[in-house]
Structure 1
């Protein structure tokens, strides 16, 4: 079976880099520094124009937890309409209740709005109180896959739970391993868990191409002259590792 390599990006420069490096699917976001938020309509439209692999848009209206209110829901429904109008292939969702269960009524509204789009359930599952029950609910929603680190800080640390998830779901739901995936550990993650999809960002920064650095003004708490982008070598190294595996 061909391994899927999903790369999460938050700018159009990184889209081109990720595709050239071997990404087989793109998770399109804004603000990867806070875990990924909904991309702008402009980024959605440009991604649809330039992508030659499937693109799934993150639907997450703010940073923080996955407990959303009615106002957040209204934003997410509008964003899903924008995804459809932009011509992307799918969405990435995840809504929880206060006690750490999948919020089925809210998620079902998002799924209904996405009619015709592919659906990934994101790492909100890693904050669920009972991942077996969460998997059952995600399957009931009709999602294609769930992105998870196996409830640990990284996918490599969560290998045992990832394996249990793969065995539990069988062919009902694809388990996609993400968080800390690299060329150094991807073979071990796949071999020991049985996942057929991996997710990574390959984040790095490049220096600004500006020649004037004289201003003392800053747009925030980060270096305005270090541009976050996808690292071609990090993605390509994973792609090379996976192409060398027996299919």
Structure 2
């Protein structure tokens, strides 16, 4: 069984290689489910490490329903990944009702032609897992990353096994979320080809709590997207320019 490490920094990616992992999903901001890393980080990891690098293509948190402008950003990021020599990308798109957005997915797959494509845990928001899997089976997707629609893959093991049987090796089902040394054997025993985990340890890097915090708890609410508003900007500019 192969091990994919969700690496959120160069240090994490290096640890994955040194620890013997088979590949990396490179991303940032694990606190919101992961976002696309900077081009600088992608280039440093792919140029300095030998382990295959798969890059998360997710331009923002909030949901997985993307506008044409956001899809254009995702396309550009995929093109960069191809140019820099990444092995694959990890992405996905949903409709507003959280069903698979087939037309948008096709655009992403076209951009990623020649790269290994993993559909990410947006799948776990789909209302019907079997219907969603049937939709994905229509596309040239290498693997599906999912927790089995539960907070952890261990809790979702029953559905994961159903998906494994239903997929019939047309798409690899890769369990992810909450996998650790205590439960890894269960996934191996159930014949999954690979697992996804961060193997992370939280380290406090501040010597003392700052007087002014940089985290905004109101923006961490699930589904919240903060977008600059033209009318508010115009009003501010008009005051500044008087």
**Fold match, TM over 0.5?**
yes
For residue 59 of structure 1, the aligned residue among 49, 57, 60 is 57
Tell me the equivalent position of 1:172. Answer: 170
CA apart distance, 1:218? 4.9
Tell me the equivalent position of 1:244. Answer: none
- Indicate how the Cα distance of structure 1 residues 49 and 164 shifts in structure 2: closer, same or farther if over 3 A, else same: same
RMSD: 1.8
Tell me the equivalent position of 1:42. Answer: 40
Tell me the equivalent position of 2:200. Answer: 203
SS at match of 2:168: helix
SS at match of 2:89: strand
Structure 1: stretches of 5+ with no match in the other structure:
223-247
Q: Distance in 2 between matches of 1:124 and 1:194?
A: 23
SS at match of 2:192: coil
Tell me the equivalent position of 1:113. Answer: 111
Q: Distance in 2 between matches of 1:216 and 1:35?
A: 25
Q: Distance in 2 between matches of 1:221 and 1:16?
A: 27
CA apart distance, 1:50? 2.0
For residue 26 of structure 1, the aligned residue among 18, 24, 27 is 24
For residue 194 of structure 1, the aligned residue among 170, 188, 191 is 191
- Indicate how the Cα distance of structure 1 residues 50 and 218 shifts in structure 2: closer, same or farther if over 3 A, else same: farther
Greater strand fraction, Structure 1 or Structure 2? 1
CA apart distance, 1:139? 2.1
Tell me the equivalent position of 1:220. Answer: 214
Larger radius of gyration: 2
Deviations 1:20-56 (A, max 9, x none): 1121010000111211100110011111112222110
SS at match of 1:205: coil
Tell me the equivalent position of 1:8. Answer: 6
Tell me the equivalent position of 2:239. Answer: none
Q: Distance in 2 between matches of 1:198 and 1:214?
A: 37
Instruction: Give runs of aligned pairs for residues 23-172 of structure 1, distance below 5 A.
Output: 23-172=21-170
Instruction: Tell me which stretches of 4 or more aligned residues in structure 1 moved more than 2 Å.
Output: 205-208, 213-219
CA apart distance, 1:106? 0.4
Q: Distance in 2 between matches of 1:87 and 1:40?
A: 15
TM-score after normalising by structure 2? 0.84
TM-score after normalising by structure 1? 0.82
Q: Distance in 1 between matches of 2:133 and 2:11?
A: 35
SS at match of 2:169: helix
Deviations 1:157-216 (A, max 9, x none): 01110110110111101000000000000112332x4311100011213354x9xx5894
Q: Distance in 2 between matches of 1:214 and 1:201?
A: 27
- Number of equivalences: 216
Q: Distance in 2 between matches of 1:183 and 1:138?
A: 30
